[in-house]
Amino acid sequence: MDYDRIFSDAIKSVKNEGRYRVFTDIERQRGSFPNATWYTEDGVKDITVWCSNDYLGMGQHPKVISAMEDALRNTGAGAGGTRNISGNNHYHVLLEQELADLHGKEAGLLFTSGYISNEATISTMAKLMPGCVIFSDALNHASMIEGIRHSGCEKHIFRHNDVEHLESLLKACDPNVPKLIAFESVYSMDGDFAPIREFCDLADKYNALTYLDEVHAVGMYGLRGGGLADRENLMDRLTVIEGTLGKAFGLMGGYITSTADIVDAVRTFASGFIFTTSLSPVVTAGALASVRHLKESQIERQIHQERAAVLKEKMRAADLPVMPSVSHIVPVLVGDPVICKQASDILLDEFNIYVQPINFPTVPRGLERLRFTPSPLHTDEMVDHLITSLSAVWAQLDVKKFANAA
Ligand code: PMP
């Protein structure tokens, strides 16, 4: 048995398709985000990051840094165990209360990532409801799909954001079985919004629970940064609201908020919560400062939205194929994996612009793209440099021909 061959062949096929991923070796310098240093084989170079999910730059915020420095001095570096066995720190308790309040829910529960929070919560909730049927949006994130798989429940996938399709599936289902509708608020690759109200209406009509992933919206939408459901005044209509601390809040970790009973059940039965070391109190203290700041402050959200709108407008004016996103996410269609990677490489090598190519399976084949995430810290000069650089690369690679074909 040639074991090595098995793995090298698997990698080779991904390389042949042009979608082999390589890390870009960068270092963010404190206080200078979105600029960063890129470590190349030929030395170091200053670049501008255009694909960070630290959407508001909170990973660099003075309040966050100082809260983390204090926590490091007060408690040391690590949590020291799982939440149940010595790893429960006062910062965890405070942050869970803060997050429950953010979403208007009875309780909150922290996880070491948003990925785990989805996987662990969906699989645990569904397993606790014998006969449960799950209804899942076709574009749901891999972490929700894994949770659904691990639950072993019957599942129905409804067309992305399609209220009528979801209703037809709910209607065809036994009215007496437990049901869970799982969806996201802001979809990360297209930047579109879910019809949250309509999905909640269907949940009421067919007596289903709802699970909303607000990973790309928490901190950024709503008067206190509670997400899209906060902005739409719908938080009380959702059973579970899930979020991350790794994007707009600038740190790492994930969480759910819900009724006290559901949170307690997940805390009690979810392996992904129980059998793992809890978040470092340093990270937790930083997240607490970040959530508290964004509950009070509107300025980051406002500038963020303005930046995204200006970027889209300038791209359209430059005849770049920006996709119809209604959110802060700015996807530009390329339509070919090899050209997408080449465009990203040239932007980095020649124009000091870092944007990662987005290829299959993250997006469907033929819809390969560059996904830009402007932050409040990107300046007008950075935006203008991006537009001229992109136009140059588009002309050099004749990208239009691929985008048109897609
Ligand atoms: N849900 C969605 C929609 C995501 O895009 C992601 C990560 N990109 C996650 C969950 C996982 O969150 P985290 O990065 O905190 O693990």
Q: What is the pLDDT of residues 340-376, one digit of tens each?
A: 999 999 999 999 999 999 988 889 999 999 999 999 9
Strand 133-137 and strand 154-158: pairing? parallel
C-beta 185 within 6 A of ligand 1 = no
Helix (H) or strand (E) holding 347: helix 337-351
Closest listed residue to residue 333, CA positions, set 350, 315, 311, 345: 315
pLDDT of residue 371: 97
- Residues 243-263 have a mean pLDDT of 98
Q: What single-letter amino acid sits at 84? A: N
The secondary structure of residue 278, as a DSSP letter, is P
- Residues 27-36 have a mean pLDDT of 90
Q: What percent of the chain has pLDDT over 90?
A: 92
Query: Is the pLDDT assigned to residue 30 strictly greater than 90?
Result: no
Strand 43-49 and strand 35-40: pairing? antiparallel
- Residues 226-235 have a mean pLDDT of 98
Return the best residue to mutate from 58, 143, 241, 356 for the ligand 1 pocket (most ligand atoms within 8 A of CB).
143
Cα separation, 281 vs 285, whole angstroms? 6
Backbone angles phi, psi at 214, to 5 degrees: -110, 25
Q: What single-letter amino acid sits at 56? A: L
Q: Which residue has the higher pLDDT, 29 or 349?
A: 349
Confidence (pTM): 0.96
Residue 247 a catalytic site member:
yes
Q: What percent of the chain has pLDDT over 70?
A: 99
pLDDT of residue 31: 86
From residue 88, alpha-carbon distances to 58, 251, 343 in Å are 25, 19, 46
Query: Is the pLDDT assigned to residue 33 strictly greater than 80?
Result: yes
Q: 119 alpha carbon to ligand 1 midpoint, in Å?
A: 11
pLDDT of residue 214: 98
Q: Give the HSE-up count for residue 161: Cα atoms under 13 Å, Cβ half-sphere.
A: 11
Q: 244 alpha carbon to ligand 1 midpoint, in Å?
A: 7
Cα separation, 104 vs 352, whole angstroms? 43
C-beta 213 within 6 A of ligand 1 = yes
Return the best residue to mutate from 55, 117, 141, 185 for the ligand 1 pocket (most ligand atoms within 8 A of CB).
141
Cα separation, 405 vs 253, whole angstroms? 40
pLDDT of residue 402: 66
pLDDT of residue 4: 87
Q: Round the average pLDDT of the chain to a whole number and report it.
A: 96
Q: What single-letter amino acid sits at 197? A: R
Closest listed residue to residue 217, CA positions, set 247, 255, 238, 195: 247
Query: Is the pLDDT assigned to residue 406 strictly greater than 60?
Result: no
Categorize the per-residue pLDDT at 153 as very low, low, confident or very high, splitting at 50, 70 and 90: very high
pLDDT of residue 17: 83
On whether ipTM exceeds 0.95, the answer is yes
Q: What residue spans of 106-158 are helical by DSSP H?
A: 114-127, 142-151
Ordered by where they begin, the domains of the chain are 12-59+298-401 (3.90.1150.10), 62-296 (3.40.640.10)
C-beta 161 within 6 A of ligand 1 = no
Q: What residue spans of 270-336 are helical by DSSP H?
A: 271-274, 281-296, 299-317
**Closest protein CA for atom 15 of ligand 1:** 114
Categorize the per-residue pLDDT at 404 as very low, low, confident or very high, splitting at 50, 70 and 90: low
- Residues 104-118 have a mean pLDDT of 98
